[in-house]
Amino acid sequence: MKSLTALLLGLVLSTSAYAQQNQQPHHEMAYESGCESCHDQGMDRFPSDQACLQCHDVDDLAEQTAREGEDAKQNPHDSMHYGKEAPCQDCHGEHSPKKALCQECHNFNYPKFND
């Protein structure tokens, strides 16, 4: 049990140190509110998919990334394969760089992509 606590503590410490080095500037407010404002399931766990939706609305996001005509279904927030259901963390990582899920199979270019 002792070693488990040490391990967990180590995880928390390394995670927070890591977090400080890898912050998205547009999430400054969230950092000011404390790590728990996103890490709703505990510091040693990934935030729930709902955590991001406390501030981001999927319909608004879909509107912001809407594409026209034959590219309409390439909207990462409203795609042909997953509709509006692709969870945020499948494409976005706060503390580690990621790329859009669509790009695993398609040569899509998302110039405004924030990892």
Partner 1 sequence: MTDRRSFLKFGAGAAAAGALFPISSQASNGDTKWDQEYDIIIVGSGFAGLAAAVEAKRLNAKSVVVFEKMGVYGGNSTLNAGQSCFAGTELQTKLGITDSAELMVKDQLKAGRGIASESLLRHSAELGPYVYQMTQDCGVKYRDHIITTGGTSATRSHQTIERSGAGFIQPMLKTARELGVETHNRHKFEHLIRNDNGDVLGVQIRRGYHFGHEDSGELINVRCNKGVLIATGGFGFNVNFRMAQDPTLTAEVGCTNAKGATGDGLIEMLAAGATPVHLAHIQSGPWASPDEGGFGYGAGFSLYNFPHSIAIDRNTGQRFMNEIADRKTRADLELQRRDKDGNPQPALLIAPKAEAQKDPSMKKVLKYNVAWEFDSVEAIAAHFKVPLKPLQQQIKDWNGYVANGTDPQFGKRMDAGRGIKLTAPFIVQRLWPKVHYCQGGIQINTKAEVMAAKTGVPIKGLYAAGEVTGGIHGVSRLGGCSTPECLAFGITAARSMMEA
Please report, as ranges, the residues that interact with partner 1 according to CB under 8 A. Answer: 40-42, 45-46, 48-50, 70, 73, 80-83, 85-87, 89-90, 101, 103-108
CB nearer to partner 1: pick between 28 and 115: 115
Which amino acid is located at 79 in the chain?
S
**Nearer Cβ to partner 1 (28/84):** 84
* 17 or 105: CB nearest partner 1: 105
Structural contact between residues 52 and 26, judged by C-beta atoms closer than 8 angstroms: no
Contacts of 109-113 spanning 24+ positions with Cβ under 8 A = 110/76, 112/65
